């Protein structure tokens, strides 16, 4: 299963992510136009076993790919979920060239299949 690259525009969120069961490849994409790392991504393996956490600052899109049979992922967010402010980057944008370390075709929700490419996305200053 692959959870697409989500972010909120007006009510941006920072997120602290951890896994309490299973393993995921956690992904963050910098959407801050003024940043030298704009459009770059970082992937971190999070698992119940390695007990690592990932801080994703405001201005980043976030997604993950489940690497185990199942996974339970927990978030702490700096602001409330605002559905009207949520945006989705397409997970397989050729401009981003994200290495999801996939084995076969992923299961992707209809919402995540409708994500937009980086060049069409609302971004941050």
Tell me if 125 is assigned to some domain.
no
Residue 87 lies in a domain: yes
The string of pLDDT tens digits covering residues 57-109 is 999 999 999 999 999 999 999 999 999 999 999 999 999 999 999 989 999 99
Round the average pLDDT of the chain to a whole number and report it: 97
- Quickly state the pLDDT bin for 3 (edges 50, 70, 90): very high
Distance separating alpha carbons of residues 125 and 32, to the nearest angstrom: 5
Q: Is 11 exposed, middle or buried (0-12, 13-18, 19+ CB in 10 A)?
A: middle
* 46 within a domain of the structure (yes/no): yes
Model pLDDT, residue 38: 98
Query: Is residue 86 a part of any domain in this protein?
Result: yes
Residue 63 within a domain: yes
Share of the chain above pLDDT 90, in %: 98
| pLDDT value of position 45 | 98
As a whole number of angstroms, the distance between CA 57 and CA 55 comes to: 6
Short-list 1, 32, 7, 29, CA closest to 83: 7
The number of distinct structural domains making up the chain is 1
- Kindly state whether residue 41 falls inside one of the protein's structural domains: yes
pTM confidence score? 0.94
Residue 101 lies in a domain: yes
Q: So what's the pLDDT on residue 48? A: 98
* Residue 118: partners with Cβ closer than 8 Å, 6 or more residues away: 29, 31, 39, 89, 93, 95, 96
- Domain with 111, as residue range(s), is 2-120
Catalytic residue positions?
6, 75
Q: What is the CATH number of the domain that holds 79?
A: 2.60.120.10
Residue 64 located in a structural domain: yes
Q: Give residue-wise pLDDT tens across range 29-67.
A: 999 999 999 999 999 999 999 999 999 999 999 999 999
């Amino acid at each position: 299963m692959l959870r697409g690259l989500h972010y909120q525009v007006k009510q941006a969120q920072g997120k602290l992510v951890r896994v309490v069961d299973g393993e995921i490849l956690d992904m963050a994409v910098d959407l801050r136009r003024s940043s030298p790392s704009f459009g770059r991504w970082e992937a971190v393996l999070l698992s119940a076993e390695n007990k690592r956490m990932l801080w994703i600052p405001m201005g980043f899109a976030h997604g993950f790919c489940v690497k185990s049979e199942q996974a339970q992922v927990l978030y702490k967010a700096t602001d409330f979920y605002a559905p009207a402010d949520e945006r989705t980057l397409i997970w397989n944008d050729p401009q981003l060239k994200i290495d999801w370390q996939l084995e076969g075709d992923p299961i992707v929700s209809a919402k995540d299949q409708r994500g937009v490419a980086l060049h069409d996305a609302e971004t941050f200053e």
